């Protein structure tokens, strides 16, 4: 989507803030003893309270209001009876639609006690997110985002999960363009003023390869390693990108 007027901007900001606040609320409830289905129910109630509806259900009939992935699950984890344990790495991805506008955000959270290498993985993935957002400017190559993210991964010895990338959003949950998290000369497009996209690096401690579970949804690392993801929906401008899903106290 490209923001064409103030109605578009206010619409995308409204759903973006709802997604951001829902994610923040759900993360605050992550603790040992709570199941991923209970977390999803909290997210559902929050979105419904704000008259928003689950994007993955609307677009794909996903079996959950949000995606909750634990440990070697990288993305698209289905909320179920799994009970969060100390030391788990939990990723929550919240995407929703309101009045025809779609927003998307996500974050990873290690459950205490947090191993130092988990803490560093999360910290550097957030750094990569911010570097990627800083590279996203109108008329600049889309490939600059991947170059910025890849530099952080390489410096810290992480693998990028190449199958997962940022994307256009706004009038649907997955739109053009694709925004890779690695540099490729084949990505020749440039960002447009007002374009709405997600920036979402995925860093892995292992080989960075994923497979799809038998449920047809959950993406899991092939070597059982841990990964982290942080995501914002942004509006591209000539200057600093507008962080649609950023809320006070969030990533």
User: What torsion, rounded to 10 degrees, do the Cα atoms 188, 95, 88, 206 define?
Assistant: -10
Residue 185 has pLDDT above 90, yes or no: no
Q: How far apart are CA 80 and CA 35, in angstroms?
A: 7
Write down the pLDDT at residue 186.
82
- CATH code, 76: 3.90.230.10
State the chain's mean pLDDT as an integer: 97
Residue 188 has pLDDT above 90, yes or no: no
Residue 1: inside a domain:
no
Write down the pLDDT at residue 35.
98
Q: How far apart are CA 164 and CA 55, in angstroms?
A: 18
Residue 251: inside a domain:
no
Range of the domain at 31: 6-243
Residue 231: inside a domain:
yes
Residue 230 has pLDDT above 90, yes or no: yes
pLDDT in tens, 92-126: 999 999 999 999 999 999 999 999 999 999 999 99
Write down the pLDDT at residue 153.
98
Q: Give me the number of domains the chain comprises.
A: 1
Residue 249: inside a domain:
no
Residue 39: inside a domain:
yes
Q: Hey, which residues does 101 pair with through a beta bridge?
A: 98
pLDDT in tens, 67-92: 999 999 999 999 999 999 999 999 99
pLDDT in tens, 1-35: 999 999 999 999 999 999 999 999 999 999 999 99
Residue 184 has pLDDT above 90, yes or no: no
Residue 250: inside a domain:
no
Of 133, 207, 122, residue with least CA distance to 163: 207
């Amino acid at each position: 989507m490209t923001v064409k007027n103030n109605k578009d901007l206010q619409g995308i900001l409204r759903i973006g803030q709802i997604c951001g606040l829902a994610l923040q609320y759900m993360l605050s409830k992550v603790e040992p003893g709570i199941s991923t289905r209970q977390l999803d129910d909290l997210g559902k109630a929050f979105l419904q309270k704000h008259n928003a509806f689950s994007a993955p259900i609307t677009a794909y009939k996903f079996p959950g209001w949000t995606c909750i992935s634990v440990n070697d699950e990288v993305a698209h984890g289905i909320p179920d009876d799994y009970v969060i344990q100390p030391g788990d790495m939990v990723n929550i991805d919240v995407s929703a639609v309101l009045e025809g506008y779609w927003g998307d955000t996500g974050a990873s959270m290690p459950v205490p006690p947090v191993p130092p290498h988990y803490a560093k993985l999360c910290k550097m993935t957030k750094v990569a997110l911010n570097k990627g957002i800083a590279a996203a400017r109108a008329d600049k190559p889309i490939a600059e985002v991947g170059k910025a993210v890849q530099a952080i991964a390489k410096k810290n010895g992480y693998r990028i999960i190449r199958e997962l990338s940022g994307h256009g959003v706004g009038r649907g949950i997955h739109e053009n363009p694709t925004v890779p998290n690695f540099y490729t000369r084949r990505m020749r497009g440039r960002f447009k003023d007002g374009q709405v996209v997600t920036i979402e690096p995925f860093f892995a401690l292992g080989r960075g390869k994923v497979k799809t579970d038998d449920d047809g949804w959950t993406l899991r690392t092939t070597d059982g390693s841990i990964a982290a993801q942080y995501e914002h929906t942004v509006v591209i401008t000539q200057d600093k990108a507008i962080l649609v899903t950023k809320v006070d106290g969030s990533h």
